[in-house]
Amino acid sequence: MADWDKMCWDDHVKKNPKLKDKLKVLSWSINVKWSNGVEEDLTDCDDDTANAVDTWLTEIEDEKNEDEKKI
């Protein structure tokens, strides 16, 4: 799935070259580590949770992109 997201982002950047140097989260999952030591990536969640995470990640993107401008 990440490859498809990357292809879509690349296509979007071709149409909007000013986005070329912007960092963008293409996909995400919640990584959990169970008490038995097993790690698992959870990718299926309800819309309310997904919207909250998307909002938070957009804020992180903005911060990262602002930091990149300073370098």
| Helix H or strand E segment including 70 | helix 47-70
| Helix H or strand E segment including 42 | strand 39-42
Residues of the chain with pLDDT > 90: what percent? 51
pLDDT tens digits along 20-51? 677 888 889 999 999 999 999 998 999 999 99
Residue 67 is predicted with a pLDDT of 86
Encoded tokens for 59: 């804020």
Residue 1 is predicted with a pLDDT of 47
C-beta neighbour count of 38 within 10 angstroms:
8
Residue 19 is predicted with a pLDDT of 63
pTM here is: 0.65
